[in-house]
Amino acid sequence: MKKLRTALLLLLLAAGTAGKSQDKQPMPGQSDAPKLVAVINRAAWCAVCKENGPRVSANLMKYMQKGLTVLMNDLTDSKTSAASKADLQNADLYNAVAKTKETGVISFVNPVNHRLLKKLSLTVSDAEMKQTVETLLK
């Protein structure tokens, strides 16, 4: 089951979409009332994204039932960037993450006031990611 969940999140990372979460519906396994939103800036050509996607997916998957919602900001090209921008604007999250244009970054946003709480590189250690998510979910 753990491998299936990890594969699902990996598929979402690779495809650059967050399925139902982009129309304000939670992804399977996500809480209906998010406590924290993680917006992952990714691109198909990003080496950091490709190398760290599986590890990041496994780390974030653990927190989806605890109130973490994961959204993708696909910066692969102008078409995917425009679609992601529209999705993030619909979720009132775009202004919080608009300044972060680099790929391989996770922006953690408060879902109530839509403020950026913290940015992390996908290359941070598992321990640092765990500590960050657990602290922000409190």
Residue 7's contacts (CB-CB under 8 Å, 6 or more residues apart) are: none
Q: How many domains does the chain have?
A: 1
Structural domain of 39 = 2-19+28-137
pLDDT band at 33 (very low <50, low <70, confident <90, very high): confident
b/e string for 15-36 if b means 16 or more Cβ within 10 A? ebbbbebbeeebbeebbeebbb
Convert the pLDDT of each residue in 53-64 to its tens digit. Answer: 889 988 999 999
Average pLDDT over residues 1-23: 44
Q: What CATH number does the domain containing 36 carry?
A: 3.40.30.10
Q: What is the pTM of this model?
A: 0.77
pLDDT score at 30: 53
Convert the pLDDT of each residue in 70-90 to its tens digit. Answer: 999 999 999 999 999 999 999
pLDDT score at 7: 44
